[in-house]
Structure 1
Amino acid sequence: MSITTKVGAVTFIHNASMTGEIEIERAGLAVKVPFEALLKIVSDKVRQQMIEGIEELRPHEILALAASKASKKA
């Protein structure tokens, strides 16, 4: 089943399982790219935002974050 998502002037057409190719169309120009390529670029953006957030943490916030992760491993 094909799903169409519009974001402003951009249209994305992809299958419901979010795998395979995605068609991206804007102003009459369309291109197909592997869904994995979009996952890669978006995950890189999220990673960068997370790094920036960590860099802004105060010492006690860093320690609290580390402690919560350590307790999840136990």
Structure 2
Amino acid sequence: MMISRKIGHVTFHHDDEFKGEVIIEKGDVRLSVSMDAMRAIVAEGVRFDLASHVAKMKPADLLRRIA
């Protein structure tokens, strides 16, 4: 079964088991991307955000998080 999610002006259509393709629509533009590629893009974004957050932390905050 296909699920549709609208985020802002973009609509995502995907299988409810998160397999196969993701169809991304914005206005008249429609793009199909494999679920594996979408996962890789999202994972890279999460890694970048986490690295940026850690880079801004003070040493004392880092030590508190580790301990």
Tell me the TM-score normalised to structure 2 length: 0.84
Which ranges in structure 1 are unaligned for 5 or more consecutive residues? 68-74
1:22 corresponds in structure 2 to 22
Which ranges in structure 2 are unaligned for 5 or more consecutive residues? none
Pairwise CA RMSD: 1.3
Stretches of 4+ aligned residues off by more than 4 angstroms: none
2:10 corresponds in structure 1 to 10
Cα separation, 2, equivalents of 1:19 and 1:64: 40
Tell me the TM-score normalised to structure 1 length: 0.78
Shift of 1:29: 2.1
